[in-house]
Structure 1
Amino acid sequence: MAAPSTPLRLLAVSVIASLTVTGCQTLDDAGRAIGRSDLVNDLASRLDRALTLTYSADYQLPAGKTATIAQEQEPARSAYTWPGGKLTVTEEATTRCESSGGRTVCTLEPPPATTAKPSVTVFAEAKRQGLVTPPVVVGLLTAAALDPDAVITNSDTTLAGRHATCVDVRQTADDFSACVTTEGALASFTGRVDGKPVELALTRYREAVDSTAFELPAGAGVVDRRPAGS
């Protein structure tokens, strides 16, 4: 994943535009909107900037399970690993691996139209597996910032040795809390996504990636659905 793609940049811009319009209401509303706008824009900018970095992050999930997000710039590629599955995006293919009954099968499909970052469908797949991605966090923050009844508080903390800014959101819809590191990596999240409880916390962050992060699991069966010659 090299530079942020147009979809995520447009999402961040829409966040800014929406909150700016909201801030043009009454003075009291404007004060509230501007404060929320500053917070949302700062965190969205961090998450966007992180898409240009090379790093790997390990997360603790409930029940002692773990997950990893890794991305590299040269060549542009990324990998998401969770219990029982893995999603790898490179210039050659988008690869989904699933393990069941002691057997792992990896399906290779054409890569995203741009290798600048995984496509929206890739983010959706990661979210389905319980991994919260930048667009998900930005979307939740935006909705909360535009909710006049939401109560948003912020704080600072340190996770895995990294400074992070945190927000705690109490609203009519599902409450949630999220922390984002100074670099822009998601440091923690607790809440519900698509009606399902999601919880993760950063346990290790490295500004480098082991090349094995992008390899297929040992002994995995392979189904190649890419067009011939790709």
Structure 2
Amino acid sequence: MAALLATALGGLTGCASIGDAQQVIDRAHLVNELASRLDHASELSYTADYQLPGGGQATIVQAQSPMRTAYIYPAGKYATTREATMDCQTAGGTTTCTLTAPPPGGSDATTTLVNVLRNRGMVPPTLVVNLLTAASLSSNTVIKQHDTTLAGEHATCVEVSGVENAPASAFDACITSDGVLGSFNGVVDGASVDISLTRYATTIADDAFTPPAGAQIVDQRTKRS
């Protein structure tokens, strides 16, 4: 955090006022606290349901030991486990689930998730962490903050604009006290995303990370000899 604040302050000119410096510090502190809170939620197990535009529903499910995640939306499911990456899509009344190798770690995993989910109305929390971090580093960022309640959970919200070198230059995001993504509204790499939390639970359905009943399975994983 100290290094981040120093970077933010380094962009100020020598004639900048103390008030300007304080605004930079406050902005960096706010968005980095939210990013840290959201990143910490990767250690939790939970089920979060979201409202989509037009009345649709999406769900993010996360479990630990081992780490597993699933994104469920009206046209399918995308899940990652230590055994496989599962991409299920429904068309013409038939659901097909394609199994490939488990996802890579680090930033590659986030990039893959963004590419998969951006046209399916969802955004991975890891991308929101990156956007909040980019907002703290951008000298032109404008941030407005307010609190709200979503699905009975207290959340801190930010309205962000002017973000440089990021997939979204402007967005609204709410993070709950537990660090779960409460809502997100913005255009990410040209795709509109608008989700809002409707239910949060620390329980996980038994079938959260398995193919839907009756789905056709296409296993493209490399088989070991």
Identify whether the pair has TM-score above 0.5, normalized to the shorter chain: yes
C-alpha contact 1:109 1:226 (8 A) present in aligned 2:
yes
Indicate the residue corresponding to 2:9 in structure 1. Answer: 23
Corresponding letter in the other structure for 2:40: R
Helix, strand or coil: the match of 1:183? coil
1:87 equivalent among 70, 75, 78 = 78
What are the superposed Cα offsets for residues 46-82 of structure 1, whole Å, 9 maximum, x if unpaired?
1111000000100000001110000111332111111
Query: Which deviates more, 117-126 or 207-216?
Result: 117-126
Question: After the TM superposition, which residues 1-230 of structure 1 pair with which residues of structure 2 at under 5 Å, given as runs?
Answer: 17-24=3-10, 25=12, 26=16, 27-113=18-104, 119-124=109-114, 125-171=116-162, 174-229=169-224
**What do residues 185-218 of structure 1 show as CA deviations (whole Å, max 9, x unaligned)?**
1101112111222111000000111111112011
Counterpart of 1:213, as a letter, is A
Aligned length: 215
Aligned partner letter, 1:119: A
Distance in 2 (alpha carbons) for counterparts of 1:128 and 1:139: 19
1:214 aligned counterpart, secondary structure: coil
Q: TM-score normalised to the size of structure 1? A: 0.84
Distance 2:201 2:207 in 1: 15
Per-residue CA distance 1:102-124 (angstroms, 9 max, x = gap) = 1111110111345x999224422
Counterpart-to-counterpart distance in 2, 1:195 and 1:94: 25
The one-letter code sitting in structure 2 at the alignment partner of 1:150 is T
Structure 1: stretches of 5+ with no match in the other structure: 1-12
SS in 1 for 2:207: helix
3-state SS of 2:65 partner: coil
One-letter amino acid of the counterpart of residue 211, structure 2: L
- Answer whether contact 1:47 1:186 (CA < 8 A) is retained: yes
Distance in 1 between the 2:191 and 2:83 partners?
Answer: 33
Deviation string 1:74-100 (CA, Å, 9 cap, x unpaired) is: 332111111202111111111101111
Which stretch shifts more, 216-225 or 141-150? 141-150
**Structure 1 counterpart SS, 2:58:** strand
**Distance in 2 of aligned mates of 1:171 and 1:92:** 40
Partner Cα distance (1:134, 1:89) in 2: 15
155-164 vs 171-180, which deviates more?
Answer: 171-180
- Which range is displaced more, 169-178 or 130-139? 169-178
Q: 1:188 to 1:182 in 2, by over 3 A?
A: same
Change in CA separation of 1:33 and 1:63 when aligned onto 2, cut-off 3 Å = same
One-letter code of the match for 1:183?
Answer: D
Q: Whole-Å Cα distance in 1 between the matches of residues 107 and 41 of structure 2?
A: 11
Identity of aligned residues (%): 48
User: What's the TM-score once normalised by structure 2's chain length?
Assistant: 0.85
1:180–1:187 CA contact under 8 A, matched in 2: yes
CA distance in 2, matches of 1:207, 1:48: 17
